[in-house]
Amino acid sequence: MLVLHVLSDFIDCDFAISGSSPSYWYEGRCLQSGVGVAHRRHRLKLPRTSISEAIAHGLMQQLAKNDCYFREGKMYGILLVELPHGEQRVLKAFSGLLNGCSVVEGWVPPIPGRDEVALEETRTLAQLDAIKHELFTLKQLTERQQYETLSDEFEQQLQAMSDRHRYSKHQRQQKRQQICNTLTEEALTIALEQLDEESRQQGIERRQLKRQQNELLQPLQQLIAATDTRISELKQQRKALSRQLQAQMQASYSLTNFSGRSVSLQQLMPGGSPTGTGDCCAPKLLHYAATHNLKPLAMAEFWWGASSVNQDKIQGKFYGACAERCQPLMGFLLSGLKPKPPALSPSRGVRSPSPHRGGVGGEVTLPIIYEDEWLIVVNKPTGLLSVPGRYRDRQDSVLSRLRHLLPDGMALASVHRLDQETSGILLLARDRQTHRQINQQFQQRQVHKVYEAILSGVVTVDQGKIDLPLWGDPENRPYQKVDWQDGKPSLTHFQVIAREQDYTRVEFTPLTGRTHQLRVHAADARGLGVTILGDRLYGCCAVTSRLHLHARELRFQHPQLEKTLHLQAITPF
């Protein structure tokens, strides 16, 4: 099967592209020895360059000639490679399946392993599809609306009856007082019995209405309860089937890197991986190059076709390695390459067929600590904003990168923030309801946060609390200061972990979440009186590469799963 293509299939080789630096780097860290070893070596990189973008644009022009590629929106990629004798060729790949096929003439084949579970995958997908249709039918149960309508009607009738009976009771009480003073004993007895009978009849009337309500609503309620139980069972079956299939695929998929080492997805990602891991363009291209003695020079991936409801991908735009499926594999896949691949020959110039450029630059990765359909939690690196700033040069952030990389990224909302210089756990919600529920936990101080810091001096007290109200200085933003008159209450617990020469390692537990709270509580003389190492804004003069403040732990109640999540990120200093 023809897989290697000449450059002239995609670009005009009679013209040259003006030199420019790579617009994106595929990168990872080479493992020191084996999978799962914590110690790591040098960073490995593979660029997306002008020539790879030009080749990708040539592929886009080919895709544009056939409407079937537009109907089935997906990621496509190209890899510029060098053959053993020095000639350059192009590999192309698609993510997942193309028109239902995994092997297509002219495209890189899938990573070995899919065929081994193809039959089981087909069977499981059919089961999942049947569950999907049954769930849809159960959720459309007409008796739910019928129950709601009848319930509302009975509530209105009961309310009207209660109002009427309350008025009648008041009238009877007045009448009793009146006849007790005017009627003789015999007549009084008869009149009182009549009033009591009226009261009994109204009680009977209310019980009859409640009985009628139960007779009509109870069967509907039982049916709805049985339906909800079935829905819960189906969801559990769906989850179990998905996990089973994913485990089988992870165990069977075998990836090979440029050192000649082959491992399964299960070995690479022992904690589990999202569905579709191994089917993306980048892993397919790099695995094929590694197993066919081809040296990768540059790679580019782009979206082509319509976007689904939950995706924000733009046709013709370049994207980097997806954070959840591809990025965790990059370190292994690129192992065996030299840190800096050789530059292209000056004589092999090309011209881009289109000036369009896209994608997110930067070399900072976003390790994912926890992820489900409602939440995503990342270990934010120092130097990266939590959310985009006001001005154009402050748009790069955790939120903007995830919105760019994730299929449901545009729905993401940041629940809280970390300072740009602070690293550690950052929580984002994937829908409005989850965002509102967790935000409420933050507001009610139900979220437990632990930070770790190194202070640029010695703290003599082992533990305690700092209660200093904070107020933003409007003349020196974002500087915060202690203000006893206008400041907002700010409370922090601290615990000294260790003292190392002229430095103190401290654990902070903030009970409030004010801007720069820990930094001011550490630096202010009425707090600890010692600045956090690297905190130049609050007076640290030590020469260091970063602010030594890390959000180490986060504990909160998962609003959907109704369980406590206790997340941790190892302190990097």
Question: Catalytic residue positions?
Answer: 419
Give Cα 340 to chain centroid, integer Å: 32
AA identity, residue 83: L
Give Cα 24 to chain centroid, integer Å: 22
**Nearest one of 481, 459, 461, 462 to 470, comparing CA atoms:** 481
Residue 382: count other Cβ atoms within 10 Å of its Cβ: 21
Six-digit token pair at 32?
A: 């020191």
State the Cα–Cα distance between residues 114 and 246, nearest whole angstrom: 11
State the Cα–Cα distance between residues 276 and 250, nearest whole angstrom: 10
Six-digit token pair at 172?
A: 């009877």
Instruction: Return all residues near 152 (Cβ < 8 A) that are at least 6 apart.
Output: none
Contact 80, 9 (CB under 8 A): no
State the Cα–Cα distance between residues 481 and 54, nearest whole angstrom: 53
State the Cα–Cα distance between residues 497 and 222, nearest whole angstrom: 57
Would you mind telling me the total number of residues written for the chain in this entry?
Answer: 573
State the Cα–Cα distance between residues 555 and 565, nearest whole angstrom: 6
- Omega before 84 cis (within 30°)? no
Instruction: Return all residues near 404 (Cβ < 8 A) that are at least 6 apart.
Output: 319, 320, 360
Contact 397, 386 (CB under 8 A): yes
Phi, psi for residue 555 in degrees, rounded to 5: -130, 130
Six-digit token pair at 384?
A: 């990266």
**Nearest one of 245, 291, 33, 208 to 125, comparing CA atoms:** 245
* Helices (H) then strands (E): counts for the chain: 11, 19
